[in-house]
Amino acid sequence: MTALPQGDGVADALCMGEVLIDFMPAGPDPDLRPGGIGSFTPAAGGAPANVAAGLARLGVRSAFLGRTAADSFGRFLARSLADAGVDVSRLRLADGARTPVAFVSLDEEGEREFLFYGEPMAGFSSADLDLEAVEGTRLLHSGSIGMIDPAAREASLLAVETARRHGRLVSFDANLRPALWPDRETAERMIRQGIAAADIVKLSDEELSFLTGTADPAEGGRSLWHDGLRLLAVTHGRDGCTFVTRDACEHVPGMAVATVDTTGAGDAFVAALLAGILEDVGTAFTPDRLRGICRFANGAGALSTTAHGAIPSLPDREAVNRLLG
């Protein structure tokens, strides 16, 4: 197993979980019949890896904690994250592992479907953890994919427990991928466990409905609420998002853009949301601050849909500010 060279200093945000190759459609083929398969272009992906890259693009010191194969695909992923400005010193390249991949198909409106191959966490376990990095960061972010495999789940829960014990913020993305779970009941139970340990939770409309039976953020959010939760953000695609706190529930409108590919849009939103929170944690969870933070996050998510791929499409702060005017 190979550990990449150490970075300088401690990251403000440590993102833990899957990193994989997204094989994106290379473009429309005029000779391709409906239902056919065209060519694909590789792009780095995996929700926590995307968030790490999105944070770095927005000027936040971010690091990635995970595992992939010591093969050409794994080295491509490490380079892609490093090129985006992410500290990859906690990304383990393991001999004998296989880099997970996902083939992405897009409909006419840019909505995507994933076909996964390989174990998404590539054998991640407690042996891959750097608990000193967890203790030293300001925020630990992870998602539900790390809760599927038992060894990865044990590692993820240990990291979250360590972060909480040291007073660090914990962020969790439900990121439901039903095909990866053994059954619906297990998926719901594990995602709820992730939510129960988090300060900040991001859900899509579909994930809120899956967990609570309602798409109403106020009703569903209250049913998921716990004493340690400070923010639940529900995304509505092009219609923006709703933030739920202990005392408030408000919708923040989205922005109209020319969408070509929604891959990574939720991760761009999460990165911008966390970047805004980290600017001033003391005031971040007030409605006045959250309106601005969520507007910025909506802008980042919208911009990411105007280009193909996840990490390649993540915007920087200047681009988001231009969109917001």
Active site residues: 267
Give the whole-angstrom CA distance, residue 167 versus residue 127: 23
Residue 153 region by backbone torsions, left for phi larger than 0, else alpha for psi between -120 and 50, else beta? alpha
Give the chain's largest Cα–Cα span: 58
Give the whole-angstrom CA distance, residue 297 versus residue 320: 9
Question: Which DSSP state fits 315?
Answer: -
Inter-helix orientation angle 265-279/287-304, to 10°: 150
Give the whole-angstrom CA distance, residue 235 versus residue 300: 13
From the list 129, 66, 81, 58, the residue with the least C-alpha distance to 274 is: 58
From the list 191, 244, 196, the residue with the least C-alpha distance to 218 is: 244
Give the whole-angstrom CA distance, residue 93 versus residue 71: 8
Name the CA dihedral angle for 68, 51, 172, 184, rounded to a multiple of 10 degrees.
Answer: -60
